[in-house]
Amino acid sequence: MYWIPFVAAVYLLLKNNNNELNNLKNNHMANCNKLFLDFDANLNISKKKKEGLKNSKETLRTRIRKYFKDNHPEYKPEFYIQGSYKMGTTILTKDDECDLDDGIYFKREIGVTGTTLQTWVKNAVDGATSTPPEHRKKCVRVIYQSDYHIDYPIYYFPKGSDHPLLAVKNEDLQESDPKEVVNWYKSQKDDNGQFHRITKYLKAWGDHKRNKMPSGLAMSILAANNMQFNDRDDIALKDTLIKIQETLEDSFECIVPGTPYDDLFGDYDDSRKNNFLSNLDNFIDDAKIAVDNEPNQLKSSKLWRKHLGDKFPLGEDEDTDAKEASLKAISEKILAGSAYAQKNGSITSCDEGIKHKPHTNYGG
């Protein structure tokens, strides 16, 4: 009649065993793994936004096809989604925006210049949104204000060619094969998706800091080349950042794993390079404190937030690892029949109070 159910015992432990929790604080650091998993979810595009992006993509494709049929029928556009959307690493920026790369391929011999092709695509999408399209160096951008944008990299793909030829504004065509990059990324995935999540965390870091931080593709490559797996995402991210720093100190480069295998850091000037490395150094310093030296989850989460932004959740103002350890210890006492219930409701192993009977209710 004196047996207290396990669940009730756990509740009473949380309410009354504060002294035992405090004694464990110096032996445990804050575990923010659950916060990182929530952060990953916060970076995902909402169903409504994803539907809007999909509808806009189809509307623009129809518009582009019609433009070329009416004005340049010898050029027939074909489409292939590429980049982060295809790899599944698209994130919501701190402005709650996202993007999609929709490659346009002309499978024919080279005719007009790449710049002219870009101009034709720009003409095709002009008027589709209230904001005029942008003619960028390697794409045409259609902007849906405060929501998302769609980029159109444009390619010739002549018959018999090994790789597509990317149109570059006011420059020669460049061999480029985004499908190789997508296939490479998918080959890096692990069973529990940690590499995928670490990539998104690095992209969120770059978005939060901005100021010409590395591109999303560069972050994906850095993650793949330096991935340090762990049961916890906070430790995995910290260790991956340290490995990235070690790699870049040896050689500051980021080679694209697909044609043309160019170096994404090749055109960084000293200012941009130093800005990135300084941000990396600061991130590592705080990550070490958050993982190795800070027992309070709230304080630890604020350190992560400095680098990942407000989409990273705030933790509890407590030592979560100490609480977990204390719960585990008391559950073992109950299961072993060595626990005693005190008058104030606390559970101890002292030979006083009401002794618990061994717990045998394992469900069924």
Per-residue model confidence (pLDDT) at position 319: 76
Q: Taking the model in full, what pTM does it have?
A: 0.81
Distance linking the first and last C-alpha atoms of the chain: 22
The whole-number pLDDT of residue 19 equals 39
Catalytic residues: 99, 101, 151
pLDDT tens per residue across span 7-24? 344 344 434 444 344 334
Helix (H, G, I), strand (E, B) or coil at 255: strand
Distance CA 30, CA 33 (A): 9
Are the CB atoms for 296 and 30 separated by under 8 Å? yes
Name the residue ranges covered by the structural domains of the chain: 6-28+320-355, 47-176
Residue 301: per-residue pLDDT: 98
Q: Which parts of the chain have pLDDT scores under 70?
A: 1-28, 320-364
pLDDT value for 3:
40
Q: Give pLDDT, residue 343.
A: 60
The pair of structure tokens assigned to 225 is 């080349």
pLDDT at 199: 98
pLDDT of residue 220: 97
Q: Please give the CATH architecture assigned to the domain spanning 47-176.
A: 2-Layer Sandwich (3.30)
